[in-house]
Structures are given as structure tokens and as C-alpha cells.
Amino acid sequence: MKDWFKDWFNSPYYHLLYKNRDDNEARSFMDVLLQKLNMKEGSCILDLACGKGRHSKYLNEKGFDVTGVDLAKESICCALPFENENLHFYVHDMRNNFRINYYDGVFNLYTSMGYFDDAKDNLKVLKAANMGLKENGILVIDFFNANKVIANLLAQEIKELDGIVFTIRKRLEGGIIKKYIQVKNKETIKEYEEKVQALTLKDFKEYFSSSGFELEQVYGSYLLEDFNEEKSDRLILIARKKQHYDKL
């Protein structure tokens, strides 16, 4: 079965539905995060599942050597015009290794994991990230707080953007938050879906122990406030590479 995200992430409707993501919030988060990590200017960062590269571009502006990778060709095409000597973008499946012992940090931001039907693929992502990191390299994962998302799950909402009507239905099924999206563009109707595993702090701890990482910090917001399982909007994890994998 074809992975759902290969169709949806490459659809122009995906980019329209999420066109108003808060770039200022993303930049502020990077500022706070970089201060916390104390990474040296010129450090190499892999932005894993970078989308159109909004985080990658800002990290590069801050003086870092950044590589952005994403499975969606359409997103990478939008990012390519911004490339420079220290900023590069590639189409790449994050379940596969990209480079070996190369990066000082791997960032996986804005809930860009848990897309897969097989939970083992999450472990593949983390082992590939491990292989890409230098010794003692840093992994940052920014995920939603699944507990709060589930508690506040909205069954249906309708949005109209540029004359296109999106009918969005959500439900929790088998530990997966499923979003069914109907797109009506004049007389044309198309249907897509999003599926994200409702991963918790416990799940990530288990993945880290199986992929050579040691969890160092857990935060619950883009201001890096303490994590609260019921109240926090985000689950932000900072882990360090402690064991090297040479194969997936």
C-alpha cells in the first residue's frame, strides 16, 4: 500500500491548508533552543523532514551549515532557490541513512515523526539519525503532546481557503490520530488522509534506548517550559548519541 504522505505532502492542497504556519514562532523557538544547546557557529545540522525549509533557512541565517531533507518533492522544490554554500536541500526518506558521522545535531521538528503504519519505522528513523551524528551529537525532536491532543480532539471542522473548501474529520483509532480531509475545488472533490501515531514520552524513551540515544531534557513548549502530560502543547526532547549504529 502506498504511504499516505507521499500523496498528501506533494499535493498543492496540503500547502494551501497549512500556509499560515507561524514563522515567527518557529524562529523564536530556534533562538531559545540554540541558546539552550550552546551549539558553536558553523556546526552542521540536519533538518530531518524539513518541509519547505523554514527552520533550515533560519538556522542557516544564524550561522550554521544546514542540510534539509524531506520526502516531498514539491516541498524541496520550494526550498531549493534558497540554497547557498552552507544550505542544501535534498529529497530523502528519513527512514534511510543520509550521511555517516557528519552532523553535530539532527533536528526533527513540528511533529514530523510517527507517520508510518509500522511502528518499527520510527526506530529506523532514529537509527538513521544516530548514524548521521558525530560522537556525542545532539538529537532534537519536537512532537505534539499526544495526551492533550487526544483530550481535545475536534471531530469535524470546515475551512474555506482561496475558494477551496476543506472538510476535516479526526478520530483516534488503534493509537493513531487519523485525519480525513475532503477537498472541494469547484466541482472537483478529492480525499486525503493524515495519520500520526499518538507517541508519548514513554514511547520515545523506549525508542531512544533501542537506538543508541540518552534522553537529557524534556520540555513542554517552544519557550522550553517544563513538560506537563495534561497541559503542555508540545513534547520537546533533547537526546545525545551514546552508541553508534553502522547499519539499520
Question: Which amino acid would we find at residue 127?
Answer: K
DSSP state of 81: G
- The percent of residues in the chain predicted with pLDDT above 90, rounded, is 82
CA distance 88 to 81: 10
7 vs 233, residue with greater confidence: 233
pLDDT per residue over 16-63, tens digit each? 888 777 788 889 999 999 999 999 999 999 999 999 999 999 999 999
Burial of 219 (0-12, 13-18, 19+ CB in 10 A): buried
Q: Whole-angstrom Cα distance, residue 155 to residue 56? A: 33
15: which 3 cell numbers?
A: 500547502
Read off the pTM: 0.91
Task: Quickly count: other Cβ atoms within 10 Å of residue 70's Cβ.
Answer: 26
Report the pLDDT averaged over residues 89-106.
96
What is the arithmetic mean of pLDDT over 133-162? Answer: 95
Domain ranges of the chain: 4-145+199-241, 149-195
Transcribe 100-143 into DSSP letters.
SS-EEEEEE-SS-S---SSTHHHHHHHHHHHHHEEEEEEEEEEE
pLDDT given for residue 245 in this prediction = 65
133-144 vs 234-241, strand pairing mode: antiparallel
Mean pLDDT in residue range 203-213:
96
- In this structure, are residues 110 and 142 in contact, taking their beta carbons and an 8 Å threshold? yes
Q: What is the pLDDT of residue 1?
A: 42
SS3 97: coil
> For the purposes of burial, counting CB atoms within 10 Å of the CB of 211, is it exposed (0-12), middle (13-18) or buried (19 or more)?
buried
pLDDT of residue 248: 53
pLDDT of residue 43: 98
Helix (H) or strand (E) holding 147: helix 146-151
CATH number of 4-145+199-241: 3.40.50.150
